[in-house]
Structures are given as C-alpha cells and as structure tokens.
Chain A
Amino acid sequence: MTVVEANSEYDLEEDRVRLRAGRCPDCGAVFCPTGTVCAACGHRGLDEILLAPTATVYTYTRVHQSTPDFQAPYDLVYADFPENVRVMLPALGEGYPVIGEQVDIVLAPGPRVKDGQLIDMPHARTAAERSEHDG
C-alpha cells in the first residue's frame, strides 16, 4: 500500500512521468523546477513545459545512510534530459545505475517515508535485470 501525494511536480502519461519545468521564452534555457527569472539571461517569467519521459544517467550513488525521513539503502541519479537540463531523482532497478544508460521516468514508492509508508515519487527506472555491482 502506497500513498500518492498531490503535487505540481509532474504529469502522468500512462505509466510515464513527465516532470514540470520552465523554459525561457527569450533564450530557451530550461530549469527544473521552474523559477521566477531566467538564470541565463535575466528574462522574467518562464513558460511551463513537460520534460521528456526518458533521460540519460550522468552519475549515481547508492545511499546507505540517510535521515529518518528516508528508507535506506536507495539509489540516486543525476539524469540529463533531452531538453538540456539535469534533474536528481531516486532510481529504481535491480542493479546499480550505469553512467550513460537510458532511463525511463516513472512513478514508484520511496525512498521517502511518511507515517510509516513509502511515498510515491518520480523515479529513474534503470535496466532491471542487471547483475549486482560487486564493489
């Protein structure tokens, strides 16, 4: 049993998550989450866009010790989206994420815990059948 928290972070398209982001109407720079002013050119006001539901792993870690708000261990990645923006997400998959691999953005429970239950949140889904890292 998991809980879906209402939020404005993403849209769901079937089983894929599309993260909300902001694109500068002037220079095209993309920010996720969106902001008030474009950090690249100073333009005020960003247009809302939805990021692609796939991205590429830039780097990763497996977190073994966290705060009481999270159920460790869990994996994290920085994922590069085709819109030229990088987003940190928890990762889902049997093995370690691999730098350069393609990931799907999906909704899945954890690693955040609230009232004893894992919270559904956007995840980067890595290749599921990869064997466990030995290091």
Chain B
Amino acid sequence: MDDVYVLGAGMTPFGKHPDRTAADLGAAAVLEALDDAGVALADIEAAWVGSVFQGMAMGQRALGDGGISGIPITNVENACSSGSTAIWDAAMSIRAGVYEVVIALGVEHLTGQFRGAFTPDESDIEAQRGLTMPSVYAMRAQRHFAEFGTTTEQLAAIASKNKRNAALNPLAQFKKPVTVEEVLASRMIADPLHLQECAPVSDGASAVVLVSKAKRDQLGRGRAIRLAASVLKSGRKEVGLPEMTFEDLTHRAAEEAYAVSGIGPEEIRFAEVHDCFSIAEALRVEGLGLFPRGEYPARVVKGEADLDGRLPVNGSGGLLGKGHPLGATGVAQVVEVVRQLRGEAGDRQIPGAKVGLAHCRGGKAQGVEGTACTVNILTV
C-alpha cells in the first residue's frame, strides 16, 4: 500500500457567480491546483469529479475546459460528500499502485437553480410529509436541547464564530462578522434554527492533485502534505429507536480514520467539519470524539473552538461562512487543511498546525441517518 500526498490545491472564491458556468469554475480550480503542484496537464493520469445537481458528465465538461481529456474521468455523486468521495476514489487508486498523479475536483453551480429549503429525494415518504433538510437538523437540535441543556444562544455562537472566521478568508461567501444577537434576530427557518444558522446556496469549485510517494520525492517534497487517512462510510439502515444526538455514521468513519492513520482524536490540532447547520457542527465534533458528547455548544461560548482556542473548528468559515457549493465542499475542506499545514492560511493561520482533520457528511435518505460521510486526516 503506497502513501498518498496532496501536492497541489486550488479553489475558486465561493459565493454567487451568476455569470460563470460550472465548467468554467471547475477549470479554474483545476488549473490552480496543477500550478500549485507544479505538474503539467499531461501528467494527470486519471480524474474523479464530484457534483450533485450538475447533470451528465460534469467532469468531462470541467476538465475539458481545463485542458484535460482522454484520460479516465469518473463522475461521482454522493450528496454533500460528492467531492470528498472523489478524493477517496482518487486516493485509493494511488494506494493500490494503479496511478501516481491524479486529480480530484468538486464543483457546483446552484445560483438560479434553487429557492427555499433543500429536501430529501421526493420519493422518500418523509419528504412527502414535509421534511426539509433544515427541519431534520432542527429536530436533532431540539433533542440536544432536551438531553444536554444546550441553548439557542449557544447554537447561535457556533454560527457567529464561523462567520467571524469567514471574514478572514478572502475566498469566503460571507465577508463580515455576525454577532450572536444578529444570528438570533434573523428569520426562523425551522425552530430553533435561524437563517444565519443555515448554510447558504453557493457556487464554486475546488481541486487537489494527489501523488504517490515516489512522485512526491521527484516533484516537490517541501510542499507536499501527507494524506494519512481517507475514509468513506455510508449510513446504516436504522433499526429500532436510535439516538438522534449521536452520529453513528460520523463516529464509524472517524474510528476507522484514527485506526488507519495511527493518529488519535487527542492529536488533531484543528478540524474542518460539515456545519451545514449550527447544530450540525456540534453533532460532528462530538461524533468525531474531538469534544465530549453534549458539551460542544457550551465550549464554543468559552472560545475553545476559536482560531486561538484549544481546537479550532472551521477556521475557514465552514459551510456557514465560506459557503456550501455541495460537490465542491468536501474538496475545499481538504484545500483549507493543506493551506493551514503549509502555513499559507493568512489572517486565519493556526500557529504550529501539524495535524488536521476534514469531515464531510451528506444527505438524508429514508431510514438512514445520513447518506455518506468522509473523514480525511492530513499531516505535514
């Protein structure tokens, strides 16, 4: 089994890009990642491309626009984990010794496509009865309140933290900090979640170039970041009355990532996690074992997850602040971890960061807690 390294990373600004296409955004991220890696178009042996609502052959359109064609290109759809699943696929190909230089791209262009709330697939009975994505998380939040004494102000503090971090990230969709009071004053979407606690609709693309150890040695040891674990799991069909405040899916993905890498949760210095809603960030980090169960929202209020805290969470701004172009999100998390580990994160740099974790978890289908979850652990 060969080691895998991230040699290049690229991403477009996230936000509203009404005048650009998905292909054009994807190509921009690919070219930046190639330049960052110092590899040529012709060096790329295979590609995996994650997107959710972009129609047929998104990969061929984006890569073709970026000058890459003729190689094996696989399109990946795995709900919000589509991009990070593309990384998982690409990493496996290197680990298996099939390829030495590959690219994973995530891309999404949603402006103009959606209004209102995202819902599960309409064939699901829960969707037919009125379940929306915010309402799934709202109900998990109400349960977290009842079991652990979590408050709406604590959840608002999570959203405020991420928007504050986003204001330090030039690629983020939201450019200005938002106070807890402003979060609570925003429109109620599904009680207790306010508009400012829900990830926005975004456009954007992100890409990483993955290489084998031999290629890393040949091409550029200095900037390469080791992908110590890349794990993908799907949600188990629920039986009986599972606890909705504990993420079995996140937990299982994390346990495997810790085992594969030999790096335990106590060694993780910072994390990018799938905060599609404020409560989601709490459920993620508690499921990952990074904070004790039930305590995360209160610890955010104490500053433990701030950029200068014990374990910074979503220093990029997360989905709430940086934006959430579905297919691009999981790759962008890895781009952020790479930049932090290289010391290239500018105003949001976490000093001395040597080990980071990226968690991406998507979707809801009838009878399962979530559809897909990836955990990537990266080290210098």
Contacts and interface: CB of A to CB of B under 8 A. Distances in A.
A86 B241 contact: yes
A70 B187 contact: no
A77 B138 CA distance: 11
Contact of A63 (B135, B187, B367): B135
Contact of A76 (B130, B238, B241): B130
Contacts of A86: 238, 241-242
B189 interface: yes
Interface residues of B, number: 35
A61 interface: yes
Interface residues of A, number: 36
B116 A68 contact: yes
Given A64-B187, A76-B131, A78-B244, A58 B143 contact: yes
A9 interface: yes
Nearest to B143: A59
Interface in B103-128: 116-117, 119, 125-126, 128
B189 A65 contact: yes
Contacts, number: 100
Main secondary structure of the interface of B (DSSP, over half): loop
Given A39-B237, A76-B131, A112-B130, A65 B139 contact: no
Contacts of B128: 112
A50 interface: no
Interface of B: 116-117, 119, 125-126, 128-132, 134-135, 138-140, 142-143, 146, 152, 187-192, 236-242, 244, 366-367
The 5 closest A-B pairs by CB, nearest first: A39-B237, A61-B138, A59-B143, A62-B191, A59-B139
8 contacts: A29-B239, A39-B236, A76-B130, A76-B135, A85-B240, A89-B129, A112-B129, A112-B130
